[in-house]
């Protein structure tokens, strides 16, 4: 007598993700951004810093896909080259946030109780500072640059990442396989990297894709205020700032960088949503995060 045991296959997270149109949209925009940035290294239709005042304010045409700006630069080329800054800032901030987040989360969950309390308070204090404020403080001390944006967003969002993943790490570090690891003689650091972090990773990745969205907005905001990318570096926020005074006369010129920013930010957000929906077993639970 044999009984057939029905094989229950859990759907993989990748499959769940693919079925979510919002997540796919996020993935597509992210891939598009990366492609644009890579492409701009080897090719742009025109030199993005080349000015040709005689051909200023050309409307969109086959020669100038998105038209030209007030000093005759090709807007498409500028935006293409600007995607490099956007990508740098997004990835850079996410990396800094990851490091800051891991450090805070690990210190806040695996150390002595009194130390954990201090870390918790410190996180609360740091969360109280808005990202833009930290960035402007750093920029006025060190001068505006892309690095300042990356560090500022990385630190302020990293604190968030730390706060969200701290209870996760605590939960995982109490599970049996971790205890088994300790019994087998693994040190705390190895145990963290071998067992705890891989199990917290989904939470992390979701947080970091949201961090990218914040970073893109922060870079454009800071460049708009003159604290971000240097003048001669093509950047979306800078284009927006430079063209906004002509908005009454050439409204279309501002729409392009605005659209690029909007779609990218939306894309990173939806990517984060999609990843969360696909990896989080407690589906639909709203996360509360602050920037």
Partner 1 sequence: MRTLYAALGIAAISALVLSGCSGQGDEYSGSEGESVTVGLVLEPTDLDIRRTSGAALDQVLIDNVYQGLVSRTPSGDIVDTIAASHSISDDGLTYTFDINDGVTFHNGDDLTVDDVVWSLTQVKDDAELRDHELLSAVTKITATDDDTVTLTLSEPDSNLLWNLSGRAGLVLDESADNDLSTTANGTGPFTLEEWKQGDSITLARNDDYWGDAAKVGEVVFVYIGDTTAGVNAALAGDLDVLTAVDPNLQTQFEGTDFTVHEGKTTDKYTLAFNNQREPLDDVRVREALQLAVDHAAVIDAIGGAGVEMGGPIPPLDPGYEDLTSLRPYNPKKAKSLLADAGVDDLSLTLTVPNIYGTTVANVLVSAYKQIGVTLTVDSVEFSTWLNDVYTNHDYDLSFVDHLEPRDFGNWANPDYYFGYDNTDVQKLYTESVRATDPETANEKLAEAARIVAEDHAADWLYNALTLTAIHEGISGFPTDSPNARLDLSSLSVTT
- The residues that touch partner 1, with contacts defined as CB under 8 A, are 47, 49-51, 53-54, 56, 70-71, 73, 143-144, 210, 213-214, 217, 226, 230-232, 238, 240, 242, 244-249, 251, 254-255, 258-259, 261-262, 265-266, 269-270, 272-273, 287-291
Q: How far is the CB of 108 from partner 1 (least distance, A)?
A: 22
Q: Which is nearer to partner 1, 106 or 261 (CB)?
A: 261
Q: 45 in helix, strand or coil?
A: coil
Q: How far is the CB of 85 from partner 1 (least distance, A)?
A: 15
Q: Which is nearer to partner 1, 5 or 141 (CB)?
A: 141
Q: How far is the CB of 90 from partner 1 (least distance, A)?
A: 13
Q: How far is the CB of 113 from partner 1 (least distance, A)?
A: 31
Q: Which is nearer to partner 1, 197 or 289 (CB)?
A: 289
Q: Which is nearer to partner 1, 168 or 242 (CB)?
A: 242
With contact defined as beta carbons under 8 Å apart, do 164 and 287 qualify? yes
Q: Which is nearer to partner 1, 106 or 222 (CB)?
A: 222
Nearest to 90 by CA among 267, 286, 275, 289: 267
With contact defined as beta carbons under 8 Å apart, do 243 and 69 qualify? yes
Q: How far apart are CA 67 and CA 257, in angstroms?
A: 12
With contact defined as beta carbons under 8 Å apart, do 205 and 95 qualify? no
Q: How far apart are CA 108 and CA 117, in angstroms?
A: 8
Q: Which is nearer to partner 1, 109 or 269 (CB)?
A: 269
Q: How far apart are CA 156 and CA 164, in angstroms?
A: 13
Q: How far is the CB of 11 from partner 1 (least distance, A)?
A: 24
Q: Which is nearer to partner 1, 76 or 172 (CB)?
A: 76
Q: How far is the CB of 283 from partner 1 (least distance, A)?
A: 16
Detail the DSSP E strand segments found in 51-205: none
Q: How far is the CB of 213 from partner 1 (least distance, A)?
A: 5
| Unique residue bearing structure tokens 């926020």 | 237
Q: How far is the CB of 245 from partner 1 (least distance, A)?
A: 5
Q: How far apart are CA 21 and CA 19, in angstroms?
A: 6
If residue 255 lies in a helix (H) or strand (E), which one and from where to where? helix 251-279
Q: 150 in helix, strand or coil?
A: helix
Q: What is the DSSP string of 223-253?
A: HHHTSSS-TTS--HHHHHHHHGGGTTT-HHH
Q: Which is nearer to partner 1, 45 or 143 (CB)?
A: 143
Q: 68 in helix, strand or coil?
A: strand
If residue 21 lies in a helix (H) or strand (E), which one and from where to where? helix 21-42
């Amino acid at each position: 007598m044999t009984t057939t045991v029905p094989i229950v296959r859990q759907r993989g997270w990748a499959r769940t993700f693919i079925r979510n149109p919002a997540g796919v949209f996020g993935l597509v925009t992210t891939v598009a951004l990366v492609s644009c940035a890579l492409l701009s290294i080897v090719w742009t239709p025109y030199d993005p810093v080349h000015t040709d005042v005689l051909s200023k304010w050309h409307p969109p045409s086959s020669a100038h896909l998105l038209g030209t700006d007030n000093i005759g630069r090709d807007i498409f080329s500028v935006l293409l080259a600007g995607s490099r800054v956007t990508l740098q800032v997004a990835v850079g901030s996410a990396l800094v946030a990851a490091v800051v987040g891991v450090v805070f989360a690990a210190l806040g969950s695996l150390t002595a109780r009194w130390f954990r309390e201090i870390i918790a308070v410190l996180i609360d204090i740091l969360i109280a500072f808005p990202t833009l404020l930290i960035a402007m403080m750093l920029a006025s001390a060190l001068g505006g640059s892309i690095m300042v944006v990356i560090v500022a967003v990385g630190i302020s969002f990293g604190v968030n990442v730390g706060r969200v993943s701290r209870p996760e790490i605590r939960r995982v570090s109490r599970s049996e396989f971790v205890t088994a690891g300790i019994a087998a003689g693994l040190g705390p650091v190895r145990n963290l990297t071998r067992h705890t972090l891989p199990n917290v990773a989904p939470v992390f990745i979701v947080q970091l894709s949201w961090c990218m969205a914040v970073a893109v907005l922060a870079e454009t905001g800071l460049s708009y205020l003159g604290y971000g990318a240097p003048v001669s570096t093509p950047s979306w926020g800078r284009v927006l700032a430079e063209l906004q005074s002509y908005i009454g006369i050439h409204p279309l010129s501002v729409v392009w960088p605005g659209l690029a920013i909007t779609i990218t930010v939306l894309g990173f957000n939806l990517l984060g949503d999609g990843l969360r929906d696909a990896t989080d077993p407690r589906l639909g639970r709203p996360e509360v995060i602050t920037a």
